[in-house]
């Protein structure tokens, strides 16, 4: 196991394992602990599903398990059961979200934009965004 990857601790696995679905007929599943660790790695780091490290297993398996369990509400039931099984910790994160901005959202050099001097601005007519809106309202409708 690589030290820089996320792995469920023995304590966390002991709390989760009794609540996982069992007894589904068909092909034997990939180890639940490894797949859940892979899912949590993707959710923690924000990487794409296909970029999950190979130590967690095939990316398709990890994504499919997450997706199918989400549709069957297994994650919700698992959270409810684990949350109800012990005391509330001192530190708790209800929601941690982030916003991805487009690479051009940081701004630009603004090109050859000339700045108006204070004297010129004082001489000029006051501009308002409301005037074009008011004028558009007064135009005859077709």
Is 63 domain-assigned?
yes
Q: What is the mean pLDDT of residues 94-110?
A: 64
Nearest to 37 by CA among 87, 2, 88: 2
Is 47 domain-assigned?
yes
pTM strictly above 0.75: no
Is 135 domain-assigned?
no
**Higher per-residue confidence, 109 vs 12:** 12
Looking at every residue in the chain, the average pLDDT score rounds to 76
Is 55 domain-assigned?
yes
Q: What is the pLDDT of residue 53?
A: 92
Range of the domain at 60: 41-86
Is 45 domain-assigned?
yes
Q: What is the mean pLDDT of residues 88-111?
A: 64
Enumerate residues 6+ apart whose C-beta is below 8 A from 8: 16, 33, 36, 37, 40
Is 12 domain-assigned?
no
Is 66 domain-assigned?
yes
Enumerate residues 6+ apart whose C-beta is below 8 A from 6: 37, 40, 41, 44, 45
Q: Identify the DSSP state of 117.
A: P
Domain count, the chain: 1
Is 64 domain-assigned?
yes
């Amino acid at each position: 196991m690589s030290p820089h990857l996320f792995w469920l601790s023995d304590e966390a696995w002991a709390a989760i394992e009794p609540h996982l679905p069992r007894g589904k007929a068909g092909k034997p599943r990939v180890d639940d602990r490894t797949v859940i660790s892979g899912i949590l790695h993707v959710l923690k780091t924000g990487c794409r599903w296909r970029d999950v490290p190979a130590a967690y297993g095939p990316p398709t398996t990890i994504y499919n398990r997450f997706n199918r369990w989400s549709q069957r509400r297994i994650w919700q039931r698992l959270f409810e059961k684990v949350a109800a099984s012990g005391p509330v910790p001192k530190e708790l994160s209800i929601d941690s979200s982030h916003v991805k901005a487009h690479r051009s959202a940081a701004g630009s050099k603004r090109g050859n934009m000339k700045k108006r001097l204070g004297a010129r601005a004082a001489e000029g007519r006051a501009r308002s965004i409301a005037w074009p809106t008011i004028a558009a309202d007064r135009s005859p409708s077709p």
